């Protein structure tokens, strides 16, 4: 059996606001929305009894590529940075999105208040299969400082 990474969960200031961003900007939908109490065992954050809210967002697939939005409800986290990053610190994931509308995603992210790092840019890459792909790429942060690279395949060159 091969293990599958099905979800990445990020900590957010406001799960509802974050979920609306993922819906509006990336077109994701809510798969689950539930409060839960931390056990104090499995998650290496918070303590036993902390009240949280977890919203899991999904794209097209029902099992992989989901993003969890975890908010501390009681007590509220005190260690959230006041300012969002403008560069990616070591150890921070980069979310890579295969988009059907990169330019639109950037405009929706901008309208939602995101910091845009790279405007849409046409570029070409050689894929793992050896074929060249013409792409449109851009990058930006969500409202909690998570970094997204958004790419759209425009054309795949045969041979």
In order of their start, the domains of the chain are: 7-74 (3.10.180.10), 94-156 (3.10.180.10)
Output the six-digit token pair for 109.
């992210």
Contact between residue 69 and residue 12 where contact means Cβ atoms under 8 Å apart: yes
Query: pLDDT at residue 13 above 80?
Result: yes
Q: What is the pLDDT of residues 21-71, one digit of tens each?
A: 999 999 999 999 999 999 999 889 999 999 999 999 999 887 788 999 999
* Helix (H) or strand (E) segment spanning residue 94: strand 94-98
Query: pLDDT at residue 159 above 80?
Result: no
Average pLDDT, the chain: 94
**Residues contacting residue 104 through CB under 8 Å, at least 6 positions apart:** none
Q: What is the pLDDT of residues 116-133, one digit of tens each?
A: 999 999 999 999 999 999
What is the model's pLDDT at position 31?
96
Query: pLDDT at residue 105 above 90?
Result: yes
Three-state DSSP state, 142: coil
* Helix (H) or strand (E) segment spanning residue 106: helix 102-111
What is the model's pLDDT at position 142?
97
Q: What is the percent of the chain where pLDDT is above 70? A: 99
Length reported for the chain: 159
CA atoms within 13 A on the CB side of 144: 22
């Amino acid at each position: 059996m091969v293990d599958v990474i099905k979800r990445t969960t990020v900590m957010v200031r406001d799960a509802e606001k974050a979920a609306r961003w993922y819906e509006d900007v990336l077109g994701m939908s809510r798969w689950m929305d539930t409060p839960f109490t931390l056990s104090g065992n499995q998650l290496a954050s918070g303590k036993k009894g902390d009240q949280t809210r977890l919203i899991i967002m999904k794209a097209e697939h029902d099992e992989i590529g989901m993003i969890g939005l975890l908010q501390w409800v009681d007590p509220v986290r005190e260690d959230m940075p006041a300012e969002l990053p403008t560069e990616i610190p070591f150890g921070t994931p980069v979310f890579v999105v295969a988009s059907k509308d990169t330019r639109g995603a950037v405009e929706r992210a901008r309208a939602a208040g995101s910091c845009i790092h790279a405007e849409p840019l046409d570029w070409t890459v050689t894929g793992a299969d050896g074929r060249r792909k013409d792409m449109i790429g851009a990058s930006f942060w969500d409202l909690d400082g998570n970094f997204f690279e958004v790419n759209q395949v425009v054309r795949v060159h045969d041979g």
